[in-house]
Amino acid sequence: MRPRSALVIVALGGTLLAPGTCRAQGPSAHAYLIMDARTGWVLSEHNGFERRPPASTTKILTALVVIERGRLGRVVTVSPRAAATPGSSAHLRAHGRYRVLDLLRGLLLPSGNDAAVALAEAADGSVSAFVRRMNRRARELGAVASHFVNPHGLTAPGHVTTAYDLAVLTRAALRHPLFRELVTTRSADFGEVGGPVRRLYNSNRLLATYPGVLGVKTGTTSAAGRCLVAAARRGELTLIGVVLDDPDRFADMVRLFDRGFREFARVRRRPAAVRVRVRDGERPWVPVVAARELDAPVPRAQADGVRLRVWVPRQLLAPVRRHEVVGTAALVAGTQVLDRTVLRTQAAVPVDRSLSAALRRGLSLLATIWRIAHP
């Protein structure tokens, strides 16, 4: 299912890779997607809305839920069940005491499945309760095609997501400074409270090889194949990339990022303030401003064709409230609206209740009645 919020830029003529040619000249991934992190727009995709097993990219959501719960400095005891979790490991000791923040490092750097279970149990008392919270949060964020049954991503029936949903979850997670710090960390000290310290290393090779990369998460299982979710910034453009079941995931992500940065640019416009006449008000006009700057990623070849359009009424009738929505501004390319925002009044304008104003209104009413009676 393709969510309504997923705008794929094809009307402008800009796609990173034509879907039918991805095997020949682009990623060897079964599915890939590139998203603009600022707007959430999909710039290019192939099978980007197909449900697939996500492997350890699941841990993006696990980390997000834990970070949003807070209390990251508290100390928790690792259960034997968590310590015995198979697959990639942070090598937690059963009954060992660890800070939640350290467990997050064990989750995101070496991709510890044991850390995922320990965090789930610490946050909600059980893995099942934590997974319910994961699914609820995913739906809230718009990752509606996903369903998770564990916090680590080991293959299980019904544990699926899409490249699009993973980009949506990553976009939300990157809003948290701590998540950004963790996924860009190449190595960190780790250990039990009061115990010996060892070094953890990040499994994301792009951290050492691609300028501007913001990290994020690798994942591999036999069912999911080699997967990678990454983000990178260059100039004003930040891209989120997802490749699923890709034997050459790091090189393909570099190709996607390079082409995305080469072919797309950010267009930003802030509509100028305007003055709108006010009828029967204490002042004859009111200033009107845009609620925010307009912002959209566009193919570089079409950037000069993007236009700013503003719609405001010629006149308002008093009383006018402050911050009242009275118009719209939009970035448009041809018939496609790239971004829009509302225009609001900057001040209140009460009705003019002076005698002269009352006389003017009376005369205007009489004139209206005359026109109706003598068409």
Helix/strand/coil for 241:
strand
Q: Which tokens in the block code for residue 317? A: 């009738």
Distance in angstroms between the alpha carbons of the first and the last residue of the chain: 58
pLDDT score, position 6:
46
User: What is the CB neighbour count within 10 angstroms for residue 292?
Assistant: 12
pLDDT score, position 359:
64
Q: pLDDT digits over 186-212, tens only?
A: 999 999 999 999 999 999 999 999 999
Q: What is the distance between the alpha carbons of residues 305 and 96, in angstroms, rounded to a whole number? A: 61
pLDDT of 333 > 50? The answer is yes
pLDDT score, position 128:
97
**Residue ranges, CATH 3.40.710.10, the chain:** 19-265
Domain covering 19-265, topology: Beta-lactamase (3.40.710)
**pLDDT exceeding 90 applies to what percent of the chain?**
82
Residue with tokens 């115990």: 195
**Band of residue 334 on the pLDDT scale cut at 50, 70, 90:** confident
> Rounded mean pLDDT of 289-302?
92
Give the Å distances, CA to CA, from 305 to 271, 296, 329, 333, 340. 17, 13, 17, 6, 17
> Rounded mean pLDDT of 239-263?
96
Tell me which CATH homologous superfamily contains domain 270-345.
D-Ala-D-Ala carboxypeptidase, C-terminal domain (2.60.410.10)
pLDDT of 7 > 70? The answer is no
| pLDDT mean across residues, the chain | 90
Which among 296, 280, 287 is positioned nearest to 38, based on CA atoms?
A: 296
Give the Å distances, CA to CA, from 315 to 220, 280, 287, 349, 369. 61, 11, 12, 13, 21
pLDDT score, position 373:
76
**Band of residue 15 on the pLDDT scale cut at 50, 70, 90:** very low
> Rounded mean pLDDT of 79-86?
97
Is the CB of residue 111 less than 8 Å from the CB of residue 219? yes
pLDDT of 154 > 50? The answer is yes
> Rounded mean pLDDT of 112-132?
97
Listing DSSP states for 309-368 in one string gives EEE--SEEES-B-TT-EEEEEEEEETTEEEEEEEEEESS-B-B--SHHHHHHHHHHHHHH
∠ CA(287), CA(289), CA(292), 5° rounding? 165
pLDDT of 3 > 90? The answer is no
- pTM of this structure: 0.84
pLDDT of 365 > 80? The answer is no
pLDDT of 375 > 60? The answer is yes
Helix/strand/coil for 57:
helix
What residues are labeled active site? Answer: 56, 59, 111
> Rounded mean pLDDT of 147-152?
98
